[in-house]
Amino acid sequence: RLAISEYQMQALQAQINPHFLYNTLDVIKWMIADGDMENGMWMVNALSKYLRMSINKGPGTVTLNEELTLTQNYLGIMQRRFKNAFQVEIEVEPEAAECRLPRFSLQPLVENALIHGLIYCDKPDRRLTLRAWLERDRVFIEVEDNGKGMPEETRTLLETREAGRDTGYGVANVRKRLMLFGGAEAGLKVASREGAGTCVSVVLPARFDDAEPEGGD
């Protein structure tokens, strides 16, 4: 049962990696096409660093601090590409940063906030905020943007769609892996209002070791 759960986590994780790789390579392609060789080389180096971190062999979980490092690398790439069109705020309690979670749980949520919320929004003050804190025996994580927001129908789909039937946001895959990791104690909620922004909230049991997930149905 443990082996099956670990396999499912790896399979769902693999669905996200090519998506990020394609997007990043597309960004580099357009930089080179525009003759921006300096930034193109910076992006290649940043992507190389990201891949070295992401393919590092080890358990299927990482600390939140490690996941943040990976995510900040991604954010650096996107800020360079879009000429600092958005600002990033990170508010993470030191104790929460040591909690473990499945690899690539945070980066897809951040990517959604940028692509679907901030980058193509016409607001002058575009912000992405990452928060994490401990409360009793649980860790809470929020990815919030003040971008375009979404209709209620889309928000509902994000909260109910199963992995393999995603809407292009990658949220269903993240939710499935969180459930494999945290079971009934894990949760993912989406709050959004058109014109105001979106906040994705994650709750997980606070774990500080790299033990295998317990699995689930």
Query: Encoding tokens for residue 47?
Result: 């992507």
pLDDT band at 153 (very low <50, low <70, confident <90, very high): confident
What is the tens place of the pLDDT at every residue in 15-54?
666 766 887 788 789 888 989 898 889 989 988 887 777 6
Quick check: pTM over 0.85? no
pLDDT surpasses 80 at 161: no
- Report d(CA 137, CA 76) in Å as an integer: 32
Per-residue CA distances from 130 to 29, 47, 110, 134, 140 (Å): 29, 22, 9, 14, 11
Question: CA angle, corner 165, sides to 159 and 171, nearest 5?
Answer: 40
SS3 of residue 149 by DSSP: coil
Residue 56 pLDDT: 65
> Could you give the residue ranges of the DSSP H alpha helices within the chain?
2-33, 37-54, 64-81, 107-112, 152-160, 171-182
Average pLDDT over the chain reads: 83
- For residues 147 and 82, which has the higher predicted lDDT (pLDDT)? 147
Average pLDDT over residues 55-81: 84
Average pLDDT over residues 100-117: 89
Beta bridge partners of 209: none
Query: Which contacts of 26-35 are long-range, i.e. CB under 8 A and separated by 24 or more positions?
Result: 27/77, 27/78, 27/81, 31/81
Q: What are phi and psi of 87, to 5 degrees?
A: -110, 155
